[in-house]
A = this chain, B = another copy of it.
Amino acid sequence: MSTILDVAKLAGVSRSTVSRVISGNGVVKSETRDKILHAIENLNYSPSYFAQGIKTGKTKMLAMLIPDYSNLYYGEMYRGIEQVALENGYMVMICNTDKSSTRERIYAEELRKREVDGIIYNTYKRNKDNIDYFTKLSKQMPVIFMDYIDDKDIDVPYVLSEGFESSKKAARYLVSKGKRRIGYIRVPPYISVVQHRYEGYKQGLIESGIEPDEELVYQCPDNEVGKTHLDVGFEGALFLMNKPNPPDAIMTSTDIMAVGAIKYLNGAGYKIPGDVSVVGFDDIALATIVEPSLTTISQPTRKIGEVAARILLAKINGENDIEDQIIFEPEFIVRGSTD
């Protein structure tokens, strides 16, 4: 690998001048610039990220914390992030926290040491320590949350899609289809984003003249290690369908849970949507793969990733007066699991 000195020699200038043209700071006569550009070309030179970083403090590296690699929701988000990152000379590291708050912290520490320029924080569950930690971190470096923090005292950047209205709409739709006993499978209310979806479901029932029935809500037990949303969906459906008065429709917090529910229902011989309708949330690719295809609420997931990345990059570049709390409105999509 050639160094800046090699380039300088070949171009017959000093290191400083070469540095000016690669960093884009300062003025260089265009002839000189051309000479240097040629030298760079000839030597196939590229500046060392180490040496650059040691002065600028920039790694040109973003990190994305995700709780579960196997949920392709994050994969879709990643594509949006990756695209924006690449366009701007950044790379992004995926950090799989495996739904563990501890691993979130461990990764965050490691990322701090590695001085990544920004962090995209997807969490699975909230504990107060981690909220505090990442909130504090967000004051020191660019961090963007992909979830609400309900605490009004905490002000952090975020990008997410709202779930209340769309879930309400879905619930009302099920009622319009003649369903009356509409169940819900959910994770514990750690995650605000997901909590809003649940509230929308309840409100939809109320507005349709149906009293929400706690009996029809399955909330997965706390702290089940190694359990995926898929498992939760399966178990939730199992639990609800074996009640004395089972539901005739099931809504879920996420698509992957809905897929788990469908898996159970198919296996147990229920007709979907005849016996039971199913509605998910997210619109991951899997939604059109399962049989029947899944009615769901579609998030602009890729777009969410793009926007998050742009906000992060803006902050990294010192633009602090940008809009950094963005909420998307998702879209209700009807497929075979309800029609």
Residue A113 lies at the interface, judged by CB distance under 8 Å to chain B? yes
A220 within 8 A of B: no
- Shortest CB-to-CB span from A107 to chain B, Å, is 9
User: A70-95: which have CB < 8 Å to B?
Assistant: 70, 72, 75, 78-79, 82, 91-95
Residues of the B chain whose Cβ atoms lie less than 8 Å from the Cβ of A266: 291
Given contacts A69-B78, A70-B285, contact A46 B113 (CB under 8 A): yes
Contact A114 B96 (CB under 8 A): no
In the complex, chain B residues whose CB is within 8 Å of the CB of A72: 70, 72
Report A31-57 CB contacts with B as 1/0, cut-off 8 Å: 000000000000000101111011000
Q: Are B93 and A110 in contact, CB atoms less than 8 angstroms apart?
A: no
User: B114 touching A49 by the CB < 8 A rule?
Assistant: yes
- Whether A225 sits at the interface, judged by CB under 8 Å, is no
Q: How far is the CB of A98 from chain B (nearest CB, A)?
A: 9
What string of 1s and 0s marks CB contacts (under 8 Å) between A212-255 and chain B? 00000000000000000010000000000000000000000000
Check: A11 CB closer than 8 A to any chain B CB: no
- Cα A53 to Cα B51 in complex, Å, equals 9
How large, as a class, is the contact surface on chain A?
20 to 34
Q: Specify which chain B residues have a CB less than 8 angstroms from the CB of A53 in the assembled complex.
A: 49-50
In the complex, chain A residues 81-135 whose Cβ is within 8 Å of any chain B Cβ: 82, 91-96, 110, 113-115
Pairwise interchain contact B49-A113, C-beta atoms closer than 8 A: yes
Copies in the complex: 2
Residue contact B291 to A291, C-beta cutoff 8 Å: yes
**Residue of chain B at shortest CB distance from A60:** B114
Q: Which residue of B lies closest to A74 (CB)?
A: B69
- Whether B48 pairs with A115 at a CB distance below 8 angstroms is yes
Q: What's the least CB distance linking A64 to chain B, in Å?
A: 10
- Which residues of chain B are near A291, meaning CB under 8 Å? 263, 266, 290-291
Residue A259 at the B interface, CB < 8 A? Answer: yes
A289 interface residue (CB < 8 Å to B): yes
Residues A96 and B82 in contact, CB atoms below 8 Å apart:
yes
Would B49 and A289 count as touching, CB distance under 8 A?
Answer: no
Q: Are A110's CB and B91's CB within 8 A? A: yes
In the complex, which residues of chain B have a beta carbon less than 8 angstroms from the beta carbon of A96? 78-79, 82
* 8 Å CB contact of A290 from B79, B94, B290: B290
CA distance A54 to B4 in the complex (A): 14
Contacts A50-B50, A78-B96 known; A91 to B69 CB distance under 8 Å?
Answer: no
11 CB-based A-B contacts, threshold 8 Å: A46-B113, A48-B54, A49-B113, A49-B114, A50-B53, A51-B54, A69-B75, A70-B75, A91-B110, A92-B93, A94-B94
A-B pairs, 8 with minimum CB distance: A50-B54, A50-B53, A46-B113, A69-B75, A50-B50, A266-B291, A94-B94, A93-B93
